[in-house]
Amino acid sequence: MMRIVRHCVLLATLAACAKNPQVVRDSGQPSTPTVAIDAGPLTGSIDSSSGVLVFRGVPYAAPPVGNLRWRAPMPAPHWTAVRAADRLGKNCMQAQIYSDIDPFAAGVSEDCLYLNVWTTALGTSAKRPVMVWIYGGGYNAGFGGEERHNGARLAQKGAVVVTFNYRLGIFGFLSHPALAAETPEGASGNYAILDQIAALQWVQRNIARFGGDPSRVTIFGESAGGSSVAALIASPLAKGLFHRGILQSGNAIGGVRPPASVHDEGIRFASTVGITGTGSDALARLRAIPADSLLRATRPPNATGGFGSTFAPRLVSDGWVLPRTIDSSLARGTANVVPVIVGATGGEGDGAYASARAFARLTSAQHANAYLYLFTRVGDDSANRRRGAYHSADITFTFGRPRPILESAGRTAYDSTLAEAMSDYWVAFATTGDPNGPPSAGKRPRWPVYEKTTDAYMELGPEIVARSALRRSVYDSLDAVGRARGEVRP
């Protein structure tokens, strides 16, 4: 088992030891893994099935409650006693709007800015690639501690994995003139993206103590998580915080709104809870409303799934977090251009793959490598054959699980092979920026770099095979539609 050898009595000594903790084998009973981060000392746990070290419920920012509601996250308070990091923190305020996302086991609260770490080595000498997962859920649902986001298998393959919570719905995206007026930047909304930036800043300050290399950080996410990766690529506030990106079934092309329209939506929502006006008094009354009352106001009784809400969370080009749209930032060369993997699932429709191809083209035009994919795995039963490779079907395979968590996803004879291959590619990309490096090198088909001339992509499904020019005329036509809407489609 692993034991952290420390000779630290005073907290100051403990902090000094944390810079180079020693990890040794111990034939006796397993001890508790301990790390001192910038805010204070932590004890984690050892996963009994994998042997991976896990730290859960680590605060990365102050609770965004009271007067901190609808503000950029503030630093987490420091502590002196050793803090147990062996259970999830509370999840951000949300209803259960999807059957496969249950946030209530850990509870929901505005006090929700916590993260989780999986690693197999502690100390600054390990220098392992870091993979930071951003969950999906339409910006209305989700949390970093979902079991399908368990980072143990990726950690076993050599990565340090981080997942975290960020504010959702009305708490993460309310844009209102009164909120804009109180900030020096004149911006409001995008609080969820500011949370994500705060989590990445925490990674830069602390991840070396968990064996991670802060100069090799990959952000990856699915659906709204993929759109968040795109937003971080476009945000000047995230510059230098990450070095590669993976966008799964979401890239925010065409998904960023101008401030005026979302301000109007914010004013309309405030009126539904009895608050009118755009002055500081209206804002004070909004902040005084209990969190559960605000949440109920966004979810009428007839709302189902992600539909029917009275408030739709949207990314906004606020001039600060997002100075312009995602595609415009990439095309102008003002984005944090990094190598990317980008793709979609086969059942999501032509529009999803067309926008993924557009993101690959925008990235490659800025002289960074892009790797395009289409996920085509479908369960063998008739129900799954009818619905195809549905949205979010790829998540568990990304995390290297040998079979999907949901029974409704069905089974195939190649599930384990696909999960091993995808997680190999993802870890290899996090390691070097090339999915063809270790641990996939020599074991997996070579994934070609995207080029506009060939439209090369990797199919990930019953076959793991490189192909080219998928339905090119169809996607060229959809690009033309996007251009007509004002999008940049190279």
Which residues, at least 6 apart from 70, have a Cβ–Cβ distance to it below 8 Å? 64, 171, 174, 176, 179, 188, 191, 286, 287
What is the CB-side half-sphere exposure of residue 178 using CA atoms within 13 A? 18
Residues 175/263, Cβ–Cβ less than 8 Å: yes
CA distance 458 to 455: 10
Give Cα 388 to chain centroid, integer Å. Answer: 24
What is the full DSSP assignment across 355-404?
Answer: HHHHHHHHHHHTT--EEEEEE----SSHHHHHH-S-TTTTHHHHTT-SS-
CA distance 295 to 112: 15
Among this protein's residues, is 176 annotated catalytic? no
CA distance 192 to 207: 21
Residues 398/153, Cβ–Cβ less than 8 Å: no
Residues 165/58, Cβ–Cβ less than 8 Å: no
CA distance 120 to 478: 45
CA distance 151 to 142: 16
Residues 192/138, Cβ–Cβ less than 8 Å: no
Q: How many of the other CB atoms lie within 10 Å of CB of 93?
A: 22
Choosing from 110, 146, 222, 348, the catalytic residue is: 348
Among this protein's residues, is 348 annotated catalytic? yes
Residue 448 DSSP symbol: P
Choosing from 309, 391, 420, 440, the catalytic residue is: 391
CA angle (386 as vertex; 382, 387 as ends), nearest 5: 120
Choosing from 110, 176, 222, 223, the catalytic residue is: 223
Q: What is the CA radius of gyration of the chain?
A: 22
Which residues, at least 6 apart from 49, have a Cβ–Cβ distance to it below 8 Å? 152
Strands (E), 114-230: 114-119, 128-134, 160-164, 212-222
Residues 131/246, Cβ–Cβ less than 8 Å: no
Catalytic residues, which ones?
Answer: 223, 348, 391
